[in-house]
A and B are shown apart, each in its own frame.
Chain A
Amino acid sequence: MTRILYFGRLTDIAGTSEENLDLPASVETAGELRTWLDLRFEADGALLEPTVRIAVNNEIAFDADALSGADEIALMPPVGGG
């Protein structure tokens, strides 16, 4: 199981701020996770925007980065400041 966190407007799109998921074997990279989640939520590309960043185990990841060993993955739209 992988803990997936959604921040900002992605909380509204996902309908939750976090969930535990068994990722399908076809989802091996951060980029593939984006695409898979975007389809799953019928988000119409909202998760594919390059300004939405992905963090794996609290470190920023790039789309080509592998997700193996990921305990926690965060999907983060642009930060709004405090």
Chain B
Amino acid sequence: MITLSAQPIDAPALLRAFENVVADAGAIVTFSGQVRPASTLGDVQTLHLQAYSPMTERGIEQAVSIAKTRWVLSQVSVVHRIGDMKPGETIVFVATASKHRRAAFEAADYLMDYLKTEAVFWKKEVSSDAEIWIEPRTEDYKDAARWREGKAS
């Protein structure tokens, strides 16, 4: 399930809901990403995130489909925050369920690499004295490329 939410993300509640859906999965991995308080700009006051529906959802949907062909997954949940958020707030929640932990770990890692580089989002950091649109870091591209080069399985 894929959701873009303008409201705060409650990761513990999402995990509980996910556990209820996949009660007999065997292994569940969740990842929560939080807005960092500091960046190259200095102290971040607000992070602004734009999405373009339904293109953004379609892209995430496709990444989930690829993950499902690569690993045996019983369930996947991706919840991404959009709009304005503050440092410390949850920006993304990913949950994967599988029979075995490795598939669940790797699929969650793969989805996060997609979300950090290729997902259709535009991100602006606002500090006390500047506003800047952020593009992916070189490391993010490298992380995503791992999956194409077959270095990670």
Contacts and interface: CB of A to CB of B under 8 A. Distances in A.
Contact of B122 (A55, A58, A79): A79
A80 B133 contact: yes
B126 to A, nearest CB: 12
Interface residues of A, number: 17
Contacts of B33: 82
Contacts of A82: 33, 49, 80, 91-92, 115-116, 119, 121, 123
Contact of A81 (B50, B124, B133, B140): B140
Contacts of A78: 135-136
A12 B122 CA distance: 12
Interface residues of B, number: 24
Interface stretch (A3-11, A26-34, A62-70): A3-11
A50 to B, nearest CB: 15
B52 A5 contact: yes
User: Which applies to chain A's interface (DSSP): helix, strand, loop or mixed?
Assistant: loop
Given A79-B121, A80-B136, A81-B119, A8 B54 contact: no
A73 to B, nearest CB: 12
Of A17, A79, A81, most B-chain CB atoms within 10 Å: A81
A76 B122 CA distance: 9
Contacts of A79: 118-122, 136
5 contacts: A9-B133, A79-B119, A80-B122, A81-B118, A82-B33
Contacts of B98: none
B134 interface: yes
A79 B140 CA distance: 12
